[in-house]
Structure 1
């Protein structure tokens, strides 16, 4: 068993699992805050019920996100100590600010929101929720800034021992890779939240319609407005995802051309370069010349350079270029373990980058199509009862989650064999880069990493069952068990139970 490969699987599985919670927290938090704001401004009971219902889903997801995110910090020291040493001077400030500023802001004010329903003035209570949401968005930026530095290291100089030393913290924070990745991540998170509102809202509308329940009561308004809000948010987010993704793709062609050419299975340099619709052949074996595609002529040149004629470098040419600059074999150094002296394949796994990119785009398009169906089927007060459409929309709640996960897998797998990718704007002798093969902790065995992988897999499986069970339970209950506040009951909107956590759980 290879320690490096097991450690990579462990980090990949735990990271993707954690990131399933992150976009829902980022996106749903904003929508819940908007609902709460509309209740405070209008006093209409449907906005309160929407806030309370979707707020519960938000809190369940937030709690599981925190629990799974803590594991990431431990892995840096346990399985990836050499990596931590290398990036520590840069990551130290970013992770400290994420924890001390953003996460404390987020968790503190979220606690005030949970416990403040019958204690805080209405506007102050609302402000606490917005502060928590802002905290989560700031937290996400610091994490993405750290990840983006690995994709495009800036603001550092090499020390005598070959490690990066941070000299410009502002450059790290304003890294163009971070700005592109953050904007793309945020709008993708809004798509996740919007799709959730659409799927669950349509299911409840159909259920009420078949049960003969009235379309004039507050509960019907709750689900209809959830669907409409979710539909418009999803469509708007899809358009913004396309725009931010286009900008991010062009940036990747400048900074990591091999990643993007691999995503298109473009073996040879072409001008104009075609965009691949569907590829077949030996994608899994990385034998690029044996891969064949159905293509759209010139489109890849446009996506890379905004014109239909500029050449796009192919995988074979880039592989030779990287080998000439960074070495055809790993250095014969003990820090590289079994990889020492072995040939370096600079081409990422073609099957992962190629299909990961298409899965990301395809699942995003599915979400947009479902949102369009939801808006069309609920126009003018209509209630959809088409079983395939409604249950398909409920099933499609998972589509943006898959799109987000596929996007991150593509991003992270596409930079291999580097864990820190060299910045092409810096002279070769001054470039900061770090191979994944030398990043793993030297003092751990394959059995130890495998044991932790199995243990975490079991724990995460249990947590997944718990989260899905809690969310399913509250979705099935709906909002009927949450009566509107009665006039004269101070403060308005407070939970009827003396237990303030009755709202949260």
Structure 2
């Protein structure tokens, strides 16, 4: 394997592994704010128990997520030095903002959140919880801004430095091979970079996904407790809050998904064509529910809904969706490959496409599993509002709770599949239509070095993952401190007001 493939595999592995944890941190952080805020409003000690227990698990997730995220910054310097030099002004600004706005909040208030329960006032502890949650969201904002700039660059100019002389290149300048290593992207407008054409849509899509991840993480563990008949009131209260958040986030995610897809239509039509396997420009373009792409014969074998892709992309059945055989444009190809004949340019066109089959499958995996997550959220909400969800003497309810134990995997699969779709769909560019991935590598790194470090990272990350599972299982098996055993809890305060609100008189049959 050549250096480029190995470096891409290594970065994909480390990012994919790291991306297990930040969505849980953000989503669970919001759950902590909701739980602790509910406690302050209702004075019901049950919600204090909820917040205290889930904070312990939050600490484990936060620690592993931080440890796995450090490696990526070094990979930019070791494997992708040319890229780092090219985007240093852009990435440096975004990462500096992350350090100022995100890390300072998290570092300043995390210790209060984890260890300040009996050392600071209730209001101060709640403020610390809010700041840690806000810090994790700020971190996501700046990472998404930087990544979105790679997808849709804006607010910059290209600067060429040769023989110590700097010159600004025209906006439509096409990088040549001899320019690589001498050209940098320099920010013209910081806010133009931040609010690039895809950043807000992608940010909303990611944030709502993290809320779903945190909500279903809580739902999963709560369902386990209910199946086992342990900590029933705790599990009922946790699941009630999480289901409401999951339903709300699902609705928001539906709107953000539409906005994100339309941003792809506007800014990256090649990615859209690859996501649905569209090779020819046609009106009434169908949307594929599932299937596979025969890239050799440029055919898609799938279950389709005619016209739905055109409707979703343009809100009009008749508007044609551009096919890969017309993308990129002849003008773009001629500018990138001067002196080539039209026939030669047509032969070069597929080299500007991503791996269509891979993008198609990851995109549809995200759609299918995401639809299942949406369904689980609203079926659970329906059962909750009807007062049936906690009737564990029913076989069907126990079966549903058993399914919910594994529901935590749904948002995680969607997160990974969505990220792979976004990144694979951008190829062969690392900075869209400017710098190719093959041009961004470090010049001195060898295949053996990358392969060796890949094996090392795999071993270390595997140990971290098993450590995470061990610590998580330990926290779950230990469980929360039962409110019934808390001498500070008056008997009259034992009932969960929110559960009573949605379950009515049925709550008396399910509370322990």
**Pairwise mapping of residues 402-421 of structure 1 onto structure 2 (< 5 A)?**
402-421=413-432
Other structure's SS at 1:163 match: strand
Distance in 2, Cα, partners of 1:435 & 1:17: 25
- Mapped pair 1:280 → 2:282: no
Distance (whole Å) between structure 1 residues aligned to residue 488 and residue 50 of structure 2: 19
Q: How does 1:445-460 map to 2 (within 5 A)?
A: 445-460=446-461
Is the Cα–Cα contact under 8 Å of residues 194 and 231 in structure 1 kept in the other structure?
Answer: yes
Match of 2:127 in 1: 127
The partner residue of 1:167 within 188, 205, 213 is 188
Q: Specify whether residues 375 and 121 from structure 1 end up closer, same or farther in structure 2 by C-alpha distance, changes over 3 A only.
A: same
Matching residue of 1:430: none
Structure 1 residues 351 and 482: CA distance shift in structure 2, 3 A:
farther
How much does 1:362 deviate?
1.4
Whole-Å Cα distance in 2 between the matches of residues 373 and 274 of structure 1?
Answer: 29
Cα 1:484–1:434, aligned 2, differ >3 Å: closer, same or farther? farther
Gaps of 5+ in 2: 162-182, 341-347, 490-512
Match of 1:442 in 2: 443
How far did 1:176 drift? 3.5
Q: Find the counterpart in structure 2 of residue 264 from structure 1.
A: 276
**Contact 2:227/2:402 (<8 A) preserved:** no
What's the offset of the Cα at 1:41? 2.5
Q: Which residue of 2 aligns with 1:302?
A: 311
Post-superposition offset of 1:324: 1.6
Find the aligned partners of 2:305 and 2:356 in 1 and give their Cα distance: 19
Match of 1:207 among 207, 228, 236: 228
Give SS of 2:58's match.
helix
Whether contact under 8 Å (1:359, 1:406) holds in the other structure is yes
Task: Give CA deviations for 1:314-358 in whole Å, capped at 9, x if unaligned.
Answer: 0111156486245369x9xxxxxxxxxx99711111222111111
- The two structures have a TM-score, normalised by structure 2, of 0.84
Matching residue of 2:300: 291
Q: Distance in 2 between matches of 1:23 and 1:128?
A: 19
Taking structure 1 as reference, are residues 87 and 45 closer, same or farther at Cα in structure 2, changes over 3 Å only?
same
Aligned Cα root-mean-square deviation (Å): 2.2
CA distance in 1, matches of 2:101, 2:151: 24
- Check whether the contact 1:36–1:47 (CA below 8 A) recurs between aligned residues: yes
- Alpha-carbon distance change, 145 to 13 in structure 1, aligned in 2, over 3 angstroms: same
- Pair 1:280–1:409, CA change in 2 (3 A): closer
What is the alpha-carbon distance in structure 2 between the residues aligned to residue 61 and residue 410 of structure 1? 25
Residue ranges of structure 1 left out of the alignment (5+ in a row) = 214-218, 332-341, 423-432, 489-505
Question: How many equivalent residue pairs?
Answer: 455
Match of 1:380 among 387, 404, 413: 387
TM-aligned CA deviation for residue 15 of structure 1: 0.5
Alpha-carbon distance in 2 for matches of 1:305, 1:63:
43
Residue in 1 that maps onto 2:88: 88
Tell me how far 1:199 sits from its aligned partner.
Answer: 1.8
Q: Which secondary structure state, in structure 2, belongs to the residue aligned with residue 159 of structure 1?
A: strand
How far is the alpha carbon of 1:18 from its aligned partner?
Answer: 0.6
Give the conservation status (yes or no) of the 8 Å contact 1:49–1:484: no
Q: TM (normalized to structure 1)?
A: 0.86
Inter-partner Cα distance in structure 2 for 1:281 and 1:96: 42
- Between the aligned partners of 2:408 and 2:67, the Cα distance in structure 1 is 23
Over residues 447-470 of structure 1, what are the superposed CA-to-partner deviations in whole Å (9 max), with x where a residue is unaligned? 000001110011111111111121
The one of 192, 203, 225 aligned to 2:237: 225
Listed as ranges, the matches of 1:160-199 within 5 Å are: 160-161=160-161, 162-199=183-220
Q: What is the rounded CA distance, in whole Å, between the counterparts of 1:383 and 1:107 in structure 2?
A: 43
Measure the CA separation in 1 of the matches of 2:194 and 2:89. Answer: 14
Match of 1:318 among 327, 331, 334: 327
